[in-house]
């Protein structure tokens, strides 16, 4: 009977099931899914461990477990993901925001302190809008433009901006990288991007929760994983102000190659920052004060 299943008991059962299936954080995922079903948070899941689940709650949790067993990311099942202290809505139209991308925010904010009050920022490959919206909320007097090749992704980003109070700061454009912009008119103090950077050859070896659920267009970038970054580095200077900063999230092992691309494109003060996982994750640089090369 449903009354025999307490919150604590089903959480342990789900965690054991996930662990047996090789899921990396079984207890965390079990509690996140249970809190979603119950309409609460993990604190209450832990605190109310002795409360019995109703029949409808138990059935909803079973359905969530079935979806996770098939590889669907917890963020898609819950329809949300926390990023930089804010909750973003996500679904299969956009990538799930990762903790490492918070390093991109830290680098971008740190390297543009000199123009923080009125920074003009371009976020390329915006996806869920987590980077653009976070920068907007961290700097309420800034203005931003965000582009994505996917109209579906822009729809998700717009919704997140409305919910999180950043809609008035951000202009959303559908198009490939900088294509929607006007050279000579659109110029920015900061260009940021979490672009596709996975090599095509690595696609089949990706974990099922990435390969089978997240949008391929937001993941893959040619044979070496650098085709999108290579194009962006070449295009970006035309849309940057003198002394402007570019900050790019990159894949593991790509920092040296991206640093070289930036240097060859005329950027200076190239720097590399490590993400939470210890990998070199963000490469940033400055456009010389004399403007675009």
Residue 53: count of CB within 10 angstroms of its CB: 21
Query: Both ends of the chain: CA-CA distance in Å?
Result: 71
Would you say domain 2-70 falls under CATH 3.40.50.720? Answer: no
Which pair of structure tokens corresponds to residue 200? Answer: 């095509």
Burial of residue 190 (CB within 10 Å: 0-12, 13-18, 19+) is buried
What pLDDT score does 41 carry?
Answer: 87
**Backbone dihedral region for residue 252 (phi beyond 0: left; psi -120 to 50: alpha; all else: beta):** beta
What pLDDT score does 1 carry?
Answer: 40
Which pair of structure tokens corresponds to residue 226? Answer: 């650098």
What pLDDT score does 168 carry?
Answer: 96
Contact 190, 112 (CB under 8 A): yes
Report H helices in 79-150: 101-111, 130-138
Ordered by start, the domain boundaries in the chain are: 2-70, 91-286
Contact 83, 130 (CB under 8 A): yes
Helix axes 101-111, 130-138, angle to 10 degrees: 40
| pTM of the predicted structure, to 2 decimals | 0.92
What pLDDT score does 263 carry?
Answer: 97
Task: Give the residue among 210, 203, 197, 202 at the shortest CA–CA distance from 24.
Answer: 210
What pLDDT score does 183 carry?
Answer: 79
Query: In the chain, which stretches have pLDDT less than 70?
Result: 1-3, 290-293
Q: What is the CATH number of domain 91-286?
A: 3.40.50.150
How many angstroms separate the CA atoms of 77 and 79, rounded?
5
pLDDT digits (tens, 9 = 90+) for 212-266: 999 999 999 999 999 999 999 999 999 999 999 999 999 999 999 999 999 999 9
């Amino acid at each position: 009977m449903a009354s025999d299943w307490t919150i604590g008991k089903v959480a342990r059962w789900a965690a054991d099931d996930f662990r047996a299936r090789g899921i990396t954080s079984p207890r965390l995922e079990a509690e996140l899914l249970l809190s979603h079903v119950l309409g609460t948070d993990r604190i209450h899941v832990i605190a109310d461990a002795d409360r019995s689940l109703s029949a409808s709650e138990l059935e909803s949790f079973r359905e969530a477990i079935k979806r996770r067993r098939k590889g669907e990311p917890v963020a898609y099942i819950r329809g949300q993901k926390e990023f930089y202290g804010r909750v973003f809505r996500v679904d299969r139209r956009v990538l799930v925001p990762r903790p490492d991308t918070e390093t991109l925010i830290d680098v971008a904010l740190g390297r543009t302190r000199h123009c923080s009050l009125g920074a003009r920022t371009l976020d390329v490959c915006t996806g869920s809008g987590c980077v653009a919206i976070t920068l907007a909320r961290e700097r309420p007097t800034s203005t931003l433009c965000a582009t994505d090749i996917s109209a579906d992704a822009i729809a998700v980003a717009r919704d997140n901006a409305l919910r999180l109070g950043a809609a008035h700061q951000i202009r959303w454009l559908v198009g490939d990288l900088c294509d929607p912009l006007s050279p000579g008119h659109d110029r920015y103090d900061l260009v940021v991007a979490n672009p596709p950077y996975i090599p095509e050859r690595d696609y089949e070896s990706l974990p099922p929760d990435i390969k089978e659920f997240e949008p391929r267009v937001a993941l893959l970038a040619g044979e070496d994983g650098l085709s999108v970054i290579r194009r962006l580095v070449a295009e970006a200077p035309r849309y940057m102000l003198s002394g402007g900063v570019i900050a790019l999230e990159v894949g593991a092992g790509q920092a040296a190659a991206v640093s070289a691309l930036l240097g060859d494109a005329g950027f200076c003060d190239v720097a590399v920052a490590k993400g939470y996982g210890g990998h070199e994750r963000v490469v940033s640089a400055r456009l010389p004060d004399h403007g675009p090369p």
